[in-house]
């Protein structure tokens, strides 16, 4: 049985401002770097044998201190990058609702088939997340490891594991969720958004 610790990257300025980041490459704040180090300490004794990160800098810079603390090399995998929000990236919810009201409404009513800002639909994101997870389960059978990724992708993946179309969990920066299973059709959600190490 493979056990995977799913980490949402540390805080960025766009997180603070509640702006859609998507695949725009925004670095961590000082708080985000602190969250990364605290998360590294929290994961020091889990027995991880692999460490995978999205290719975006906010995820990579969260993964590096974890790798240093655990003595693991960071494996970069673009499949774990955040959802593409197209022209919405860099904007707040209020700005999107003001500039693209019909697009916003459609994204609320039919998120699986609507590409926000001309980006990626929820169905496309979920398909990519499943592919990323399947690769990890195939590559590291029976091992424990860590994946550093993004809120949108991880929420979509957790919803799929629970048999739901629409994400419902809140995932904080630096939060840890745990899943385990032997293959992509046999998965269990162990815990969601543990932030006790950040308090």
DSSP string, 117-147: GGS--HHHHHHHHHHHHHHHHHHSTT-EEEE
Q: What is the pLDDT of residue 3?
A: 99
Boundaries of domain holding 6: 2-198
3-state secondary structure of 87: helix
* Mean pLDDT on 14-43: 99
H/E stretch holding 195 = none
Q: How far apart are CA 32 and CA 21, in angstroms?
A: 15
41's CB contacts (< 8 A; 6+ apart) are 69, 197
pLDDT digits (tens, 9 = 90+) for 65-84: 999 999 999 999 999 999 99
Nearest residue to 82 via CA among 20, 171, 152, 177: 152
Q: What is the pLDDT of residue 99?
A: 97
Instruction: State the CATH number of the domain containing residue 191.
Output: 3.40.50.1240
pLDDT digits (tens, 9 = 90+) for 101-160: 999 999 999 999 999 999 999 999 999 999 999 999 999 999 999 999 999 999 999 999
- Residue 171 confidence class, pLDDT cut points 50, 70, 90: very high
Q: What is the pLDDT of residue 58?
A: 99
Work out the mean pLDDT of the chain and round it to a whole number.
98
* Mean pLDDT on 155-182: 96
Q: What is the pLDDT of residue 2?
A: 98
**Overall domain count for the chain:** 1
The token pair that represents 33 in the structure block: 């770097």
Q: What is the pLDDT of residue 76?
A: 99
Phi, psi of 9 (to 5 degrees): -55, 165
Residues noted as catalytic:
9, 82
Write down the H helix ranges in the chain.
13-16, 30-42, 57-70, 93-99, 101-109, 122-139, 151-161
């Amino acid at each position: 049985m493979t056990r995977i610790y799913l980490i949402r990257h540390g805080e960025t300025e766009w997180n603070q401002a509640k702006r859609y980041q998507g695949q725009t490459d925004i670095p961590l704040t000082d708080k985000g770097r602190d969250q990364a180090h605290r998360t590294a300490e929290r994961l020091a004794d889990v027995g991880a044998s692999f460490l995978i990160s999205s290719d975006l800098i906010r995820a990579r810079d969260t993964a590096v201190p974890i790798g240093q603390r655990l003595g693991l090399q960071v494996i970069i995998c673009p499949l774990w990058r955040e959802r593409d929000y197209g022209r919405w990236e860099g904007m707040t919810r209020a700005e999107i609702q003001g500039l693209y009201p019909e697009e916003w409404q459609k994204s609320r009513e039919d998120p699986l088939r609507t590409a926000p800002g001309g980006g990626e639909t929820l169905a496309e994101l979920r398909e990519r997340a499943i592919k990323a997870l399947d690769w990890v389960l195939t590559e590291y059978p029976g091992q424990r490891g860590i994946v550093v990724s993004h809120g949108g992708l991880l929420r979509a993946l957790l919803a799929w594991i629970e048999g739901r179309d629409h994400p419902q969990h809140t995932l904080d920066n630096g939060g840890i969720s745990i899943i385990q299973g032997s293959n992509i059709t046999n998965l269990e959600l162990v815990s969601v958004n543990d932030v006790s190490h950040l308090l």
